[in-house]
Amino acid sequence: MRALLDVNMLIAVLDPDHQFHHTASAWLADHAEWGWASCPLTQNGCVRVMTQPNYPSPVGMVQVMAHLKAMCEAEAHRFFPDDVSLLSPAVFQHDNLHGPRQITDVYLLGLAVRNSARLVTLDGRIALGTVVGAQPEHLVVL
């Protein structure tokens, strides 16, 4: 099953100084045969975070975008358009959403399920019950 990498996973793979760089890179290498994906939300978030002056290893905008572009040009990569609405009760269990901090993670899980993929994250707080049809194989927490 293809892996949709969340923002933190993209950052961890791209930043050799990130505390989870080796973990994220090793996981991606071990699962390369299935391929991976990104979307506008994860790409934008990666660039936004890594270029902030208060990021531990800030990188220039052009450099981050060049590295991310090179990574996304790999044969194993697929681009998932943001074509799911958080407002759709056919995709999201609104009664299971309890706060604003869930929104991005839940949205990415919904996008992964829609694309028959799995969301790969470093965040262990994502509840499967927030997305219609989400099963344990749709979520990988490192």
- Mean pLDDT, residues 84-109 taken together: 94
Q: Residue 73: what pLDDT?
A: 97
Torsion angle of the four alpha carbons 114, 119, 125, 129, in this order, in degrees rounded to the nearest 10 = 30
For the chain, the structural domain boundaries read 3-141
- Mean pLDDT, residues 7-28 taken together: 97
3-141, superfamily in CATH? Answer: 5'-nuclease (3.40.50.1010)
- Answer yes or no: are the C-beta atoms of 128 and 138 closer than 8 Å: yes
- Answer yes or no: are the C-beta atoms of 90 and 32 closer than 8 Å: no
Helix (H) or strand (E) holding 78, with range, is: strand 77-79
Cα–Cα separations (whole angstroms), residue 22 to 28, 47, 55, 58, 69: 10, 20, 19, 19, 21
pTM, 2 dp: 0.94
Q: List, for residues 34-64, the tens digit of each pLDDT value.
A: 999 999 999 999 999 999 999 999 999 999 9
Residue 2 pLDDT grade (very low, low, confident, very high; cuts 50, 70, 90): very high
Residue 11 pLDDT grade (very low, low, confident, very high; cuts 50, 70, 90): very high
